[in-house]
């Protein structure tokens, strides 16, 4: 096991896939000569040259559409968004073209493309630069949506995403790019898309959390353990397709569930998971499901407000106690 | 070809600096080191190639008589196919939106005649029947698509606006105005990347000129020197809005100046003018020199089937019908003794039968099974796999 930063794991994944398959190329703002706005693609221009690591002007609609066309015509593009906040400028390309052309063409054209970049809140950036987009993109059939919480998953899932013949939305995080963790040394390390990971086994309450919320869930579980409660933490890793089997099996054991979801609450990932749990495990629940999300407002700038805006570890802890009737 | 010279801007101050951009790629002024330097005066003077109607004979273009007749038959097939589609729409055999290409057929046929079908690629907007038929898609699969049948070119999943044929290089039929144009640039990007030798033609309407995606696409095409011909089919109206009410600059070929690529203006009512323009610009594209063609044309029918057409006069429409590209070509064929009137009537009968057979095929083709609703959403065949 090597210890890698999240950004290094992403770079390894892209590099290995570009070595393996010369149809794969990387395109985006500042990915080449600047070495990546967050240094994810550092050194890749030098290794692969300007044919395959390509800087773009600030034209998200243009270069995302270009990626879709290149994918339709036999290539396997990786399109980097500096952050997914900027994907809204290209929303039409993602949801109308990437997601729907396979279907509308009766399956004649495949769109093997990865749109990747930072997602979610990253501190005092103001409302436009702090959006969690997973519920938005997950609503569209035709897209897959992945949100890895650690370097190992980042590598294994990005490699799978690049090999997938569907358009994949791959959600990273500015605040996790420097996160270090063990990454498998396995040659050609692939993690299947659509399989959740049980981060910690437990018997008293199930906490479901993806992306950086996963780390809140782990801290809450540790705190509960010190008080004699056993929490099971599930990281879905893939939002669409969503591994409900793993979540439902856990709830059959714990009979309680708390969801931590960084999205704004209305029509969010937590809403969907809650619906699916009551559909499949209603009789197993001993308490209403509780979710901890960002506040239902645009992200504020002020330090105290943005901290209050985000899902709080304390809130999640209290929620777990509440569903266990342990208060 | 003729020349049209156009001065796009001029700001006069005592001393002058003139940037001349002749046809084709000019030197990139941004590459110079004195980019921050503001001259005391700056003007842009530019000229375009033009391809007027009546300027070319088939012998000038190296077209055989058989090729001319094939062009005529193809344009006629588009015309009769759409007339029948309109009738089927009235009978409620075809639903949704139906946008007819009638009047613009010289553009699709002229273009397809200049391409290597199977190697080159075409993408267009929702007025797409003509492009499909010109590339060799059959009337049967086109009609069946509009009937919503599995025998359709998109297995009944796309409808009138979403014709696709991977085999013929038709990358769609797209419904959102302007959204497919960056996709066309990406198709060209892949041709260059793969060194396939193929080129892409990205068609859009005058209405799409108002979309930012067009301008991003033009910039990327030129910046990356891609094998693409960007074609604005200027039929004068975006739904009910004439171009002068929508655009500060109505000479769309002039956008080529802003994006440092070659531009030309073409009369889209003469299939020979379109063919010649396409030949020239396809040849450039094969050398990774992108270009922008403004093809001026006219649609004789409404924007869609529900359009009362109050935005134009009957007189205007009648006058434009004198320029009908099919009539023009028919007269040309007869005047040049390429074939007889009887033989042309024979072609007409033949096309009519082909279209009737297409309707019959569409009627008899089965509707998709309900289970097919889940097919082709993803690569996986077990969808819906979300539990």
pLDDT tens profile A152-211: 999 999 999 999 999 999 999 999 999 999 999 999 999 999 999 999 999 999 999 999
Of B188, B216, B376, the CB nearest to A62: B216
Write the ipTM. Answer: 0.96
Please report which helix (H) or strand (E) contains residue B280, including its range.
Answer: helix B271-285
Residue spans of alpha helices (H) in chain B: 65-90, 105-113, 129-135, 139-146, 180-194, 212-223, 243-246, 255-258, 271-285, 314-321, 325-335, 341-364
Residue B231 has pLDDT above 80, yes or no: yes
pLDDT band (50, 70, 90) for residue B47: confident
Question: How far apart, in Å, are the Cα atoms of A57 and each of A186, A247, B180?
Answer: 37, 42, 19
Cα–Cα distance between A7 and A324 in angstroms, integer? 38
Query: Residue B23: its pLDDT value, please?
Result: 45
pLDDT band (50, 70, 90) for residue B45: confident
pLDDT band (50, 70, 90) for residue A48: very high
Query: Residue B384: its pLDDT value, please?
Result: 86
- What average pLDDT is seen over chain B? 92
> Is A60 a residue of the active site?
yes
At B153-184, the pLDDT tens digits run: 999 999 999 999 999 999 999 999 999 999 99
The answer to whether A233 and A200 are in contact (CB under 8 A) is yes
Query: Residue B14: its pLDDT value, please?
Result: 41
Q: By CA distance, what is A248's nearest residue in B? A: B387
Listed in order, the ranges of chain A carrying CATH 3.40.50.920 are: 197-323
At B271-320, the pLDDT tens digits run: 999 999 999 999 999 999 999 999 999 999 998 988 999 999 999 999 98
Task: Give Cβ neighbours of residue B161 (< 8 Å, ≥ 6 apart).
Answer: B96, B97, B99, B126, B128, B173, B174, B175
Token pair listed for B34: 């004195």
Q: CB A57 to CB B220 under 8 A? A: yes
Query: Residue B13: its pLDDT value, please?
Result: 41
All structural domains of chain B, each given as residue ranges with its CATH number in brackets, are 50-139+172-355 (3.40.50.970)
Residue A215 has pLDDT above 50, yes or no: yes
> Is A210 a residue of the active site?
no
Residue A103 has pLDDT above 90, yes or no: yes
Query: Residue B7: its pLDDT value, please?
Result: 54
Query: Residue B44: its pLDDT value, please?
Result: 81
Residue B91 has pLDDT above 60, yes or no: yes
Look at the block and give the residue holding tokens 């190296």. B62
Q: CB A104 to CB B387 under 8 A? A: no
Q: CB A108 to CB B182 under 8 A? A: no
pLDDT band (50, 70, 90) for residue A327: confident
SS3 B334: helix
Between B1 and B291, the higher pLDDT residue: B291
Token pair listed for B354: 């082909």
Identify all chain A residues contacting B188, using CB atoms and an 8 Å cutoff.
69
Of B157, B194, B200, the CB nearest to A104: B157
Cα–Cα distance between B318 and B303 in angstroms, integer? 17
State the best of B160, B193, B199, B385 to mutate against chain A, taking most chain A CBs within 10 Å.
B193
Cα–Cα distance between B340 and B65 in angstroms, integer? 12
Task: Give Cβ neighbours of residue B148 (< 8 Å, ≥ 6 apart).
Answer: B95, B156, B159, B367, B368
Percent of chain B with pLDDT over 90: 84
pLDDT band (50, 70, 90) for residue B22: very low
Residue A23 has pLDDT above 50, yes or no: yes
Least confidently predicted of B30-39, B189-198, B301-310: B30-39
At B78-88, the pLDDT tens digits run: 999 999 999 99
A57 at interface of B, judged by CB pairs closer than 8 A: yes
Least confidently predicted of A124-128, A267-271, B3-7: B3-7
Of the candidate CATH numbers 3.40.50.920, 3.20.80.10, 3.20.20.80, 3.40.47.10, the domain formed by A197-323 belongs to 3.40.50.920
- What average pLDDT is seen over chain A? 97
| φ, ψ dihedrals at A115, nearest 5° | -105, 115
**DSSP 8-class letter at B311:** T
pLDDT band (50, 70, 90) for residue B46: confident
Query: Residue B387: its pLDDT value, please?
Result: 46
Query: Residue B92: its pLDDT value, please?
Result: 96
Residue B30 has pLDDT above 60, yes or no: no
Rounded mean pLDDT, A1-21: 97
- Residue B301 distance to chain A (closest CA, Å): 26
Listed in order, the ranges of chain A carrying CATH 3.40.50.970 are: 2-183
Beta bridge partners of A259: A208, A291
Query: What is the CATH T-level fold of the domain A2-183, as seen in this structure?
Result: Rossmann fold (3.40.50)
Residue A255 has pLDDT above 80, yes or no: yes
A61 at interface of B, judged by CB pairs closer than 8 A: yes
Of A106, A141, A165, the CB nearest to B155: A106
Query: Residue A70: its pLDDT value, please?
Result: 98
Query: Residue B32: its pLDDT value, please?
Result: 52
């Amino acid at each position: 096991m090597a210890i890698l930063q999240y950004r290094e794991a992403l770079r390894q994944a892209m590099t290995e896939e570009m070595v393996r398959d010369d149809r794969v190329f990387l395109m985006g703002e500042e990915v080449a000569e600047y070495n990546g706005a967050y240094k994810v693609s550092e050194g890749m221009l030098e290794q692969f040259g300007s044919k395959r690591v390509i800087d773009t002007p600030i034209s998200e609609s243009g270069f995302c559409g270009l990626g879709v066309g290149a994918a339709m015509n036999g290539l396997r593009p990786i399109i980097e968004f500096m952050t997914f906040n900027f994907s809204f400028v290209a929303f039409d390309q993602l949801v109308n073209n990437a997601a729907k052309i396979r279907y509308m063409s009766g399956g004649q054209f495949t769109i093997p493309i990865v749109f990747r970049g930072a997602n979610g809140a990253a501190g005092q950036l103001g409302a436009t630069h702090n959006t969690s987009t997973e519920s938005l993109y997950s609503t569209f059939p035709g897209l897959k949506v992945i949100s890895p919480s650690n370097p190992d998953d980042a590598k294994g899932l990005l490699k799978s995403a690049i090999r997938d013949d569907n358009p994949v939305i791959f959600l990273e995080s500015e605040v996790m790019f420097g996160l270090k963790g063990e990454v498998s040394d396995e040659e050609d390390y692939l993690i299947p898309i659509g399989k959740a990971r049980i981060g910690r086994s437990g018997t008293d309450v199930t906490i479901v959390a993806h992306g950086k919320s996963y780390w809140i869930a782990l801290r809450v579980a540790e705190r509960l353990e010190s008080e004699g409660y056993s929490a099971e933490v599930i990281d879905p890793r893939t939002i669409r397709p969503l591994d409900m089997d793993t979540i439902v099996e856990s709830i059959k054991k714990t009979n309680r569930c708390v969801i931590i979801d960084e999205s704004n609450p209305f029509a969010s990932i937590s809403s969907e998971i809650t619906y699916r749990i009551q559909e499949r495990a209603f009789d197993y629940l001993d308490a209403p499901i509780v979710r901890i999300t960002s506040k239902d407002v645009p992200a504020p700038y002020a330090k105290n407000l943005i901290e209050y805006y985000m899902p709080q570890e304390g809130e999640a802890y209290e929620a777990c106690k509440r569903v266990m009737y342990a208060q | 070809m003729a020349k049209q010279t156009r001065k796009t801007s001029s700001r006069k101050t005592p001393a002058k600096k003139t940037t001349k951009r002749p046809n084709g790629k000019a030197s990139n002024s941004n590459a110079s080191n004195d980019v921050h330097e503001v001259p005391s005066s700056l003007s842009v003077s530019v000229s375009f190639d033009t391809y007027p109607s009546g300027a070319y004979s088939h012998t000038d273009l190296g077209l055989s008589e058989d090729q001319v007749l094939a062009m005529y038959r193809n344009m006629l097939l588009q015309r009769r196919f759409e007339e029948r589609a309109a009738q089927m729409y009235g009978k409620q055999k075809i639903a949704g939106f139906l946008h007819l290409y009638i009047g613009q057929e010289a553009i699709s046929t002229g273009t397809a005649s200049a391409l290597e079908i199977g190697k080159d690629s075409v993408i267009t907007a929702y007025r797409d029947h003509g492009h499909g038929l010109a590339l060799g898609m059959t009337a049967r699969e086109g009609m069946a698509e509009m009937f919503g049948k599995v025998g359709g070119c998109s297995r009944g999943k796309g409808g009138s606006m979403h014709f696709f044929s991977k085999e013929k290089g038709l990358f769609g039929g797209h419904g959102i105005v302007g959204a497919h144009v960056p996709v066309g640039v990406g198709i060209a990007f892949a041709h260059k990347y793969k060194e396939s030798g193929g080129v892409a033609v990205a068609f859009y309407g005058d209405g799409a000129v108002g979309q930012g995606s067009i301008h991003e696409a033009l910039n990327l095409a030129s910046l990356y020197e891609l094998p693409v011909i960007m074609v604005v089919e200027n039929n004068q109206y975006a739904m009910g809005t004439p171009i002068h009410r929508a655009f500060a600059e109505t000479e769309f070929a002039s956008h080529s100046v802003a994006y440092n690529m070659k531009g030309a203006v073409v009369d889209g009512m003469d299939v020979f003018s379109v063919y010649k323009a396409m030949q020239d610009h396809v040849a450039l594209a094969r050398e990774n020199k992108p270009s922008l063609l403004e093809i001026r044309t006219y649609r004789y029918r409404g924007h869609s089937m529900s359009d009362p057409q109050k935005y134009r006069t009957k007189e205007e429409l009648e006058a434009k019908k004198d320029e009908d590209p099919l009539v023009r070509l028919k007269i040309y064929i007869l005047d040049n003794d390429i074939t007889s009137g009887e033989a042309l009537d024979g072609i007409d009968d033949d096309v009519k039968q082909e279209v009737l057979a297409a309707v019959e095929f569409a009627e008899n083709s089965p509707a998709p099974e309900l289970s097919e609703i889940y097919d082709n959403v993803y690569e996986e065949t077990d969808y819906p796999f979300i539990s």
